[in-house]
Structures are given as structure tokens and as C-alpha cells.
Chain A
Amino acid sequence: MSVTADQVRHIANLARLAMSEEEIERLVPELNNILGWVEQLGEVNTDGVEPLATVVEQKLRLREDKVTDGDCRDEVLANAPVAEHGFFAVPKVIE
């Protein structure tokens, strides 16, 4: 499988990365190179093998349903690029 410039443009949009046409043109062979290389996994017979997501077996813990954090609005907002009236501020979403 190899990607086209159109697909790279689509992926960049999904990833919310603004890209110039020049960057997209450069990425097409780079990504194809890497994808071509990872496709060697196709040689491996994985019939009946469960996908591994958790590398060290452990039980999922439950915790008490108790509030242990919070009441720190100003700290949470301290690093915001723009904060107004105690909220994060973003460009207008609804006209």
C-alpha cells in the first residue's frame, strides 16, 4: 500500500496539522518509505494471536468514589494562552 498526496493531505487534516504543498510533497516519499518498511509484518503468521495492549498483567483497580482533587481553577487556567472570566477562551465556534 502506498499513500498519495491526497491521502497525506487528508491525514494532515485528521491530525490537525496545517501543511504547505511543499511539506506534503516531501512527506509522501518519507511516509511511503516508512510504511513500506513496517509492512514486513505481513510476513508474520498471527492467526489466533490476541492483540497485546497491556504488557504487564495486572488487575484494573477500583477506587472509592470520592472527590480527591479540584477547587484549583486559577492554577488550571494559569498556563492558558487566553483565559477570560475564569474560562479558557477560544475563537468563536457558533455564529
Chain B
Amino acid sequence: MSEITALTIAELQAGIRSGEFSAREIAESYNAAVAAARALNAYTVETPKDALACAEAADKARAAGEELAPLAGIPLGIKDLFATRGVDTTAGSRILKDFRPPYESTVTANLRKAGAGMLGKLNMDEFAMGSSNETSAYGPVISPWRRKDGSNAAITPGGSSGGSAAAVAASIAPGVTGTDTGGSIRQPAAFTGITGIKPTYGRCSRWGIVSFASSLDQAGPMARTVRDCAILMEAMAGFDPKDSTSLDLPVPNWEARLSSDLKGKKVGVPKEYRIDSVPAEINALWDRGLEWLRDAGAEPVEISLPHTKYALPTYYIIAPAEASSNLARYDGVRYGLRVEGEGSLNQMYAATRAAGFGAEVKRRIMIGTYVLSAGFYDAYFTKAQRVRALIKQDFARAFEQCDVILTPTAPSAAFGIGETTDPLAMYLNDVFAVPASLAGLPAMSVPGGLDGQGLPLGLHLIGNELDEQTVLNAGLAIEERAGFTARPEKWW
């Protein structure tokens, strides 16, 4: 039965339908795997009963000869940023300790409608602010991967969807939800040798997802294969009147239209992404990725995204500004932590927020408050919004010459926990991921190979607005050629 956790979601779907195994067997296998993997600190809450109840419904439906919903009997891990009715939803923060929403996020409700169950809530950087999962109030997630040097040093799974990434890599969830504000799906996917896609901004409803930076936040799936991501994304996406930025468009049949034949497609290679400080093995993998896409019929073209170097500083104005505004709601009045302070209402607010937020969240609230404050708003925030327009324009021009863009996902392989302490150095992790976020474009990371230490490296595909299909298809072409079958050796 342990092999069940080695199967893809597509294989689980087929196995349930053919009767090769029951949904109950799937839920039991995964519940046991989750309970046996607590050393990873990937789950903040385990919900084995939820997974079993969903399995029972699927098995009953099958026994009654009913048509099964697409994800019937598939248990998933849910990032702790998604509101789940009656189940702790803390965004990895002390300030939301014990918060149990009386409502369900649209994305998780969509997954439930599609038949999926829940294995538990997944650890993450506090309010999705971090690239290493070290800012979580629950402590860092430990990657299932280890370096080959024999040191057994704890490695980060990346962030902010670090619990999500570690869960898929360790086979303690067949698929998970993530969210991506500036790389939070793609960088951890790359660090853990899995696949993750952020769709076009607006494809997935933000309703019921704890807000970080509203003009950037977007949910997406993380799983073992491109096909599994397509399956999950079809279930997660869709118009939602409760989110004013939700796209009122039908959800494409991404899975049915998967094709790794890229004849006639042009792959853009942005010259500005060739950075000297990036390790040679990452640039070598990038070249290999291009060869794989050429082999699939695509034609490489050099493109220019001239404002690339300004993307990170633009992001680190806009995202903290929006965060400082969004996080104003944590005031100790309506939900979450309250610390009384010295008596006045203002002192209660300040004491609550001082005790409830961690260092990185406070740093970003401070930056955001500063760049929005009187006298600085135009110099910082409006300026960043103007540069953001130029970054979007760069991509629009590039997509006149190509159909999809290939880059590395991250400028390094996963690093050790505690190894990166300078905030600015941490921010640089998302140098390749952030531009697509600022432009609202769909982007995916697929595993490409291992570095010299045996740690995974990812390749990054960016598509034009609403063209998730080309991103998925190019990802599939890479997946078929990379032959990435490496799995972390089980030590937990």
C-alpha cells in the first residue's frame, strides 16, 4: 500500500475509477505518511478525518455507479493562507493563532466541489513573506532533500509555500495549493524538485485567501507533474463575483489540451537574465532547457526585457506598501491575538501587533508604511507603479516576438536553514520570479536536474497573459526530456 503515495494524481484518478484501489486506501496511505513525517514540520494541522470522509463519499459514489467528480477521493494539502471552515487558518502567524474561519475560501471550496479532501494545513512563511519558510511562527519547514556532503544539514524547502513544496517532494500529499506573490510557488517548487504554476492574475479567486499584496497575490497548484498541475488548476480557477479582480472568463480545458509538440512556437531567452553571480550549473541547465524545447520543435529567439534589474526594487516598494495596508486589519479587536497594553485602545493595537507579528512582517510593514507616508508616497510608491508599467510593457513587447519565455527559476539551489540572514540577500532569491508577478503573467517551475550537491534545480517558463496552455505545454516538453526521477532519500 505504500506505493499509493508514489502515484501521480492522474494515476490516482485512473486507479479509483478502475477499482485498482479504493479512495479509502489512498486516504489511509496518505494519513499514515503525513503522521510519519512530522520531522519535516510541513503540516501545521493534520485533518485525517476530512481526507477519510471525502474518500468514503468517493467510494460510495463509485459503488452506486455514479459519475465521479474530477478529484473524487484525492486528498490534498492546503497552504495555511487559505481560509478553511472550522480549521485553524493562521497564515503562519502568531497574530492569527487559533483563528477558525466560519467560511471557506473560494479556491478550496472549488476543490471540495471537485471531490477533493484535505490532509491538513501546510506551514508557510508568516503572511507569505519569506523565501525560506524561516519566518513561520511554527518554525521552519525542513526540506526532505539533503546535500550529498554527509553533513545532514537542514535545508530550506524555499518559501513562502515551503510546507506545500516539502509535502509534495516527501510524498505526503499528491498535490497541494500554493500562493505566489513574488515567486512563492515557483522558488519552493524549484528547491524541492517539483512542479508549480502561478496562473494569470485573476484566474483564481483571492476571496478567502489571507491577503498579502492584493495586486500581486495569486493562487496556484503544486504537484509532481505538469499534468497534475493542469488537473488541479482547472479545479481551482474560475470566475468569482466575490473577488473584484477575478477574471470573468471560462476555465480552459488545460489538461485535455496538453501537448509537448512545440512546432511553430518561439521561445524567448531574455539576455538580461544572464547574471554573472549565478552558478555555472544553473546557466548550463538553462542552456539544456533550451535544447529540450528546440528538440520539441520550438525555435529559440533572443529577447530583451530592459527593466529586469528594476523589478526587485519595484516589488519591494509595492508589496510592502500593499501589505502594510492589508495587515492593518490585525488590531486585536475582531479576531486573533489581543494584548491589552497599558490601557488605551491605541496601546492595545500597538501591543497586540508587536507581540503578534514576527520580525520580517514588521520590517515590511515599516517599509510599506514609510513609502506610503505623507511626503514620500509619490517618490516611492507612485514611482514604483510607473516602473511596474514599464516592466509590463517589456513583456508585452517580448511576446510580439515569442510565445513563451525560458529562464532559470532561482539564482541558486536550496540553501541551508540559517545560512541567509541578510534581508536583502534573501530578497534576491526571487530575482527571476518577480518580474512575471509584477506583470501578472502565468509562470511555472519544472524540475530540470540536480546540482553538484544533489539538490534540485528548476526551469522557469513565463507565458503571455491568459496563455497558461503554452506554459504547460512547454513545461511538459521539458518534463518529458529532463527525465527528472530523483527523489529525496527518506530520513524522516
* A residues lining the B interface (CB < 8 Å): 1, 3, 7-8, 11-19, 27, 30-31, 33-35, 37-44, 46, 49-56, 58, 60-61, 63, 72, 75-76, 78-82, 88, 90-93
Contacts and interface: CB of A to CB of B under 8 A. Distances in A.
B336 A11 contact: no
Contacts of A92: 345
Nearest to B370: A11
Nearest to B392: A52
B339 to A, nearest CB: 9
Contacts of B216: 55
A16 B385 contact: no
Contact of B387 (A12, A17, A44): A44
Given A35-B370, A49-B389, A44 B310 contact: yes
A19 B241 CA distance: 40
Q: Which of A7, A76, A91 has the most CB of B within 10 A?
A: A91
Interface residues of B, number: 71
Given A37-B313, A53-B215, A91-B348, A15 B337 contact: no
What are the 10 closest A-B residue pairs judged by CB atoms, nearest first? A51-B385, A55-B440, A81-B338, A79-B335, A46-B386, A18-B354, A52-B389, A18-B350, A75-B102, A38-B313
B202 A58 contact: yes
A50 B338 contact: no
14 contacts: A1-B379, A11-B373, A16-B350, A17-B357, A18-B347, A30-B363, A52-B389, A53-B385, A54-B245, A56-B202, A56-B247, A58-B245, A79-B99, A88-B334
A78 B245 CA distance: 29
A20 to B, nearest CB: 9
A49 B307 CA distance: 14
Nearest to B369: A15
A18 B332 CA distance: 14
B331 interface: yes
B354 A19 contact: yes
Given A17-B357, A81-B333, A58 B314 contact: no
Contacts of A63: 241
A8 B366 contact: yes
B176 interface: no
Contact of A31 (B202, B317, B367): B367
A14 B363 contact: no
A81 B101 CA distance: 14
Secondary structure of the B side of the interface? Answer: helix
Contacts of B415: none
Contact of A37 (B241, B373, B424, B438): B424
Nearest to A19: B354
Contacts of B440: 55-56
Contacts of A54: 215, 245
Interface in B187-207: 200-202
A11 B369 contact: yes
B100 interface: yes
A55 B350 CA distance: 33
B373 A14 contact: yes
Nearest to B382: A51
Given A41-B314, A80-B335, A72 B102 contact: yes
Contact of A35 (B99, B244, B324, B367): B367
A40 to B, nearest CB: 6
Interface string B425-438: 00000000000001
A77 B471 CA distance: 44
A11 B369 CA distance: 6
Given A51-B385, A58-B202, A79-B334, 9 more contacts: A14-B369, A16-B350, A17-B366, A31-B366, A38-B317, A58-B247, A58-B248, A81-B333, A81-B338
Contacts of A8: 366
Contacts of A30: 363, 423
Contacts of A14: 369, 373
Contacts of A58: 202, 245, 247-248
Contacts of A12: 366
Contacts of B343: 91
B338 A82 contact: yes
A11 B350 CA distance: 12
Contact of A81 (B245, B332, B379): B332
Contacts of B465: 56
B439 interface: yes
B383 interface: yes
Contacts of B331: 16
Contacts of B248: 58, 61
A50 B389 contact: yes
B367 A41 contact: no
Contacts of A42: 383
A88 B331 CA distance: 12
Nearest to A52: B389
